[in-house]
Structure 1
Amino acid sequence: MKRFTVPALVAMLLLAAVGSAMAETQVRITGDSRVYGVFFSGHNFTGWNNANWTSNTPTWTKAGTKTEDTFEVWERIRVRTDFIANENLRFRLATKVDNTWGNGTYTAANPDVAIQVYQAFLEFKYPDTNIQVTAGLQPTALPQSALFNDSIVFTDWAAALLVKAPLIADTLELNAGFARLIDSNRTFDPSTTQVGDELDLYILTLPITVPGLKATPWGVFSMAGSKANYYTTWASSFGHASDAEDLLSAGTLIGAPGWKNNQNPYYWVGGAFEVSVLDPVKFYADVINGGGALSDRTKSRRQGWFLDFGAEYTGWDLLIPQVYAWWSTGEDSSNRNGSERMPHTRPNWGPGGSFLFDDSQVFARNGNMGMDPVGAMGLGVALKDISLLPKLSQRVSFTYLKGNNSPRAIRELNTSIGSNPYFAMGRDLTVNEHAMGVNFDSQYMLYENLAARVETGWAHGEFQQSVWGHRLASRANANDTWKVAFGFTYKY
């Protein structure tokens, strides 16, 4: 009975809701399923694990203490149920199961059923207006030009209140919102002294669309509590980075631990631009500046820039060629004066479908290298939507990146506290290091909603032994990374 308890309860609740709502409410069910095997050799360029935080104290395990399994079979099932009262009012409940064969839900005997809710939100238009309000656990993303997939600062499901208000029809829109990303202690703090244990975002964007141009100026204000779980909350689901690496400075780990202030403000301001006035040649660009903890100890401050630019030609039916580049500030030679990298959290940025980054892989689990484009610069080319045969589409890309971080800053932290998760070889590059990757992906439509897909990737990097140590760097320099994934995707 145990193995059926949770699914049975969920099914009963859904059937009861559907039955009672059918008379007045339209119920629409959509979803997707994917199952694939993936061979991945050379995780983190070594085949060994990166260092990982084990508590918010923080404590951590060292890199190179575990070895990879090169083959896994992943399966994901997602079901989205919309309860639609009318065109102006709906509620969505979305659940998923996501794991490998032989683990958790997909264990042969007595599986641990792990059904997760990943969307649960109410959406409505304010009566007699076009102002749309969405409240609950929902997709939340900051602006980024389309060629780069999604935001470098934040893209994820978040518990949020978002409001969209058209100011000029089809031309100007105001989007505003609030999201609570972390609330470590919930209702009561551990003692009678209140501590900052939340991380909140306040969002404002102004998309402007005119013939030949889409421009989106935007800004985000965040209040970050010093006791929030930065070390144990993942900033990237597949790149294995926590909020600590992406938001804090390395200086918070040196000398007096943590922040002096109970709360620290963070900010991001930027613009996303898409220019199609020369269609079929289109241009894309983003300019972002972000910083935080600027009134705290000098060593705890973090502030930097991120810029990207790309172009594509859409005039051919056979394929779409793309070129792209980016640049961001990196760490200078000292951690005592704070961090010069732009803070970010839960990015989903990546041009050309490159498997170097956690971006647009369909087979996302165990499907990319999880490299950080912040603190680096790079360029690449891609051929997208290649259509050589009916029902077959393909994509190939090449990306090269080089670090903008001082070796001394990373070496200083490693010397001070030992092998640690804040800087990771293969994820964070020094000015003397580079990496490159190629991926070739193919999709064949067996039916209208069923596709067979192959994703392949190769990557190589060159790393400094004086920064990461002989054991890790020599193994990474001598070995390449290979990925081959094959499976099926079904959408309904």
Structure 2
Amino acid sequence: MKRIVTLMLAAMLVLGSVAGASAADIKVKGQWDFAFQWLDNTDFQDGEQDGNSEDDFGAVQRLRTQIDIIASENLRGVVFFEMGDTIWGRAGSTDQGGALGADGRTVEVKRSYIDWTVPNTDLMVRMGIQGLALPGAVAGSPILDDDVAALTLSYKFSDMVSLTGFWARPYDTSSGNSGNVQNDEIDLFGAILPVSLDGVKITPWAMFGSIGEDVDLTTGNSASRTQAAYGLTSIGYGLAEETTAWWGGASFEVSMFSPLSVKLDAMYGAVDGDDEEADRSGWLVIGSVDYKMDMMTPGIFAWYASGDDDDDTNGSERMPYISPDFGPTSFGFDKVGAPIATDSLVSVSGTGMWGVGVQLANISFVENLKHTVRVVYMEGTNDEDMASVASIRPDAVNGLYLTDKDSAIEVNFDHFYKIYENLDLIVEMGYIKLDADEDTWGSDDFSDAWKLGFNLKYSF
């Protein structure tokens, strides 16, 4: 009996050692976001016209949780869940769980990928649904910054030079070769080459897109897919057959003159097919200069992007994009701002317009409390004759279509207060005045947009 017990204990020890060898460390991080906002005329139309009332106030919350499953320094898996955005009091077909009784069904898999190192090399591999962004030193990328299924390879040659290559598949309309749909994918291939020198960082990059003739850009209802459908096509046209796309550019960051900082992004993109009317090509340049002081950071920034000419039969002269995350401001654009906010009122990409802004950032007179004041003037670069085929608001998630006769002014007054180490309060005040030319659009009946938002962010 003792011999049997001894054998059993030995077996358990062996199994335990095997289990321990295959065990993984679990790390969890994420954040809760809560937003309470007053928004007025975010479509630049007065909601109180014709006796209608407005619904200006809303409360929203969101939880994002990232779980890292770490086997070793050379292998880990990551899954990123999102619960929300949950609008308080909202039920309906989406079952957001904000209405009485809760029990919403809004858990989403935002990212799911593995990282691993090729044995005996410094080559890093990431495969799965991941965040993928093209360089954007000033205000994010006007072309691509989103979650997408991709394979990414990264290699560090030295402390100064590294290379990242990727293949991403943002669209596959159907699986297999069922029915008549056989060429229904979009594949993106890209390379990013950061070069860090003493006081200067230069990041050239390029991306090529293969677009199948049977791709359905309207599949699904997410904002990202709507942006891609609008960003790849000319007004009034879909994708042509035998379509390809390509982009190229570079980012520059100069810090050698600290406390003076200079940043610049320049890029060009084109979509080409067998139908000239459906083609699209254009460019964008954006730069900024900041001077960091003890109690604030004054700065100026500006951008210019090509716009459509007066002939809509020769394609579009606006730079194409997939799913941008671009934002020099905190109300009219997408990138800058509180965790949950209404944005993209003016543009998601900055294409077809130019703008110049001045700001005083990180104004601080009290510990843990900072303020930013920003004023921006914007004007369209699209020909006024395009108003006959375009709309001042072509799509709710892509912003305004401004001609060279239209302009807008945006003012931001934002505040950041660190309540605790892991709890932040962000207060945003925004104002946008749209000046759309009456002769161009046949109306000047546009109202000013306002925002007052309180956001609490708990990071863990």
Q: TM-score range by the shorter chain?
A: 0.7 to 0.9
Q: 1:467 to 1:199 in 2, by over 3 A?
A: farther
Q: CA deviation at 1:87?
A: 1.6
Which secondary structure does the structure 1 equivalent of 2:55 belong to? coil
Q: 1:422 to 1:350 in 2, by over 3 A?
A: closer
Counterpart residue number, 1:207: 194
AA paired with 2:448? D
Q: CA deviation at 1:241?
A: 5.0
Q: 1:67 to 1:129 in 2, by over 3 A?
A: farther
Counterpart residue number, 1:69: 55
In the TM superposition, 1:198-237 aligns within 5 A as 198-232=185-219, 236=223
User: TM-score normalized by structure 1?
Assistant: 0.82
Deviates more, 1:328-337 or 1:425-434: 425-434
Q: 1:47 to 1:181 in 2, by over 3 A?
A: farther
Q: CA deviation at 1:112?
A: 3.2
The structure whose Rg is larger is 2
Q: 1:346 to 1:321 in 2, by over 3 A?
A: same
Matching residue within 383, 389, 393 for 2:366: 389
Gaps of 5+ in 1: 1-19, 49-63, 253-257
Quote the sequence identity (%).
29
Counterpart residue number, 1:33: 32
1-side partners of 2:261 and 2:390: how far apart?
43
The RMSD of aligned alpha carbons is 2.5
Counterpart residue number, 2:169: 180
In the TM superposition, 1:308-387 aligns within 5 A as 308-314=286-292, 316-351=293-328, 353-367=329-343, 369-372=345-348, 373-387=350-364
Counterpart residue number, 1:166: 156
Q: Deviations over 1:115-138 (max 9, x none)?
A: 001011101122232211110111
In the TM superposition, 1:87-486 aligns within 5 A as 87-98=73-84, 99-103=86-90, 104-109=96-101, 111-145=103-137, 147-148=138-139, 150-167=140-157, 169-189=158-178, 191=179, 193-232=180-219, 236=223, 241-252=226-237, 258-261=238-241, 263-293=242-272, 295-314=273-292, 316-351=293-328, 353-367=329-343, 369-372=345-348, 373-413=350-390, 421=394, 427-470=400-443, 473-474=444-445, 476=446, 479-486=447-454
2-side partners of 1:427 and 1:127: how far apart?
50
Q: CA deviation at 1:309?
A: 1.2
Which secondary structure does the structure 2 equivalent of 1:250 belong to? coil
User: TM-score normalized by structure 2?
Assistant: 0.88
Q: 1:224 to 1:67 in 2, by over 3 A?
A: farther
**Contact 1:426–1:461 (Cα < 8 Å) also in 2:** no
Q: Deviations over 1:368-419 (max 9, x none)?
A: 52524100011001222222101112222111110000121231356xxxx9
Which secondary structure does the structure 2 equivalent of 1:160 belong to? strand
2-side partners of 1:338 and 1:68: how far apart?
39
Counterpart residue number, 1:15: none
**Contact 1:411–1:466 (Cα < 8 Å) also in 2:** no
**Contact 2:148–2:168 (Cα < 8 Å) also in 1:** yes
Q: 1:328 to 1:457 in 2, by over 3 A?
A: same
1-side partners of 2:438 and 2:360: how far apart?
35
2-side partners of 1:233 and 1:399: how far apart?
34
1-side partners of 2:395 and 2:388: how far apart?
12
Counterpart residue number, 1:13: none
Q: Deviations over 1:209-234 (max 9, x none)?
A: 11011001110000112332323556
Which secondary structure does the structure 1 equivalent of 2:97 belong to? helix
**Contact 2:173–2:219 (Cα < 8 Å) also in 1:** no
Q: Deviations over 1:236-288 (max 9, x none)?
A: 55xx9532221101251xxxxx4441x31100010111112212211111111
Q: CA deviation at 1:425?
A: 10
Q: 1:413 to 1:349 in 2, by over 3 A?
A: closer
**Contact 2:332–2:343 (Cα < 8 Å) also in 1:** no
Gaps of 5+ in 2: 1-18, 91-95
Q: CA deviation at 1:188?
A: 3.7
Q: Deviations over 1:436-479 (max 9, x none)?
A: 11111112111110112211101101113344443xx41x1xx2
1-side partners of 2:210 and 2:220: how far apart?
16
AA paired with 2:170? L
AA paired with 1:465? E
**Contact 2:405–2:440 (Cα < 8 Å) also in 1:** no
**Contact 2:333–2:343 (Cα < 8 Å) also in 1:** no
